[in-house]
Structure 1
């Protein structure tokens, strides 16, 4: 996770997901394990939508 803004999580680049606890588990930590820095998230979920901006509106 690269950034958090207005209830959205940035997975890197222009990939955003809504931080909704009904389907996302995100535990914010003050420090990051250096072994995962720069790694990307691989989605193994059917029909998961990625957004290029933190908005429900089509961009």
Structure 2
């Protein structure tokens, strides 16, 4: 809501810049989308490696004495 109000304020005081921001926002979002997907993938890979490397410790810890 605050972002929308700031955009309206920008529209009142500097409408060409507000319209440019309105047009460029989807383009910037599309350009940054592959980096978000890459970050999600890397997070999953590191979580998998962490689980794989910690598996022997979890097996030994769960073993009854």
What TM bracket, shorter-length normalisation?
under 0.3
With a CA cutoff of 8 Å and minimum separation of 6, indicate the structure with the bigger relative contact order. 1
Q: TM-score, normalised by structure 2?
A: 0.16
Whichever structure has more helix as a proportion of its residues is 2
Whichever structure has more strand as a proportion of its residues is 1
